[in-house]
Amino acid sequence: MAVERRTYPEEFKREAVRLMETSGKRIAEIARDLGINDNNLYRWRGVYGNPSQANPNGNVAEMEAELQRLRRENAVLRQERDILKKAMSIVSRSQP
């Protein structure tokens, strides 16, 4: 017995992925509403999905640049903290 496979137009797939990315509903619920298997949505998301949705932080180069910026900021904050600690110890020693 041969199983008949349904084929879906590309526009339907794109619209289903857009709905999945923007609706906020669970994927199983969207698949049920559309009358398709939820595995199809996962597969279509890989093909038609927005790459920035898959990785909300952007590409690897952008993440590396953000990491470097945060490390520099962290170093500055540590220096400021150390200066304030030293100032507090000086002030507390000089008071009677």
First to last CA, the chain: 96
Question: Tens of pLDDT along 52-66?
Answer: 555 555 577 888 899
**Rounded distance, CA 16 to CA 36, Å?**
10
Question: For the chain, what are the domain ranges?
Answer: 7-55, 57-96
List, for residues 15-69, the tens digit of each pLDDT value.
Answer: 999 998 888 888 899 999 999 988 998 999 888 887 655 555 557 788 889 999 9
Instruction: Indicate the pTM of the whole model.
Output: 0.50
**Nearest-angstrom CA–CA distance, 59 and 40:** 26
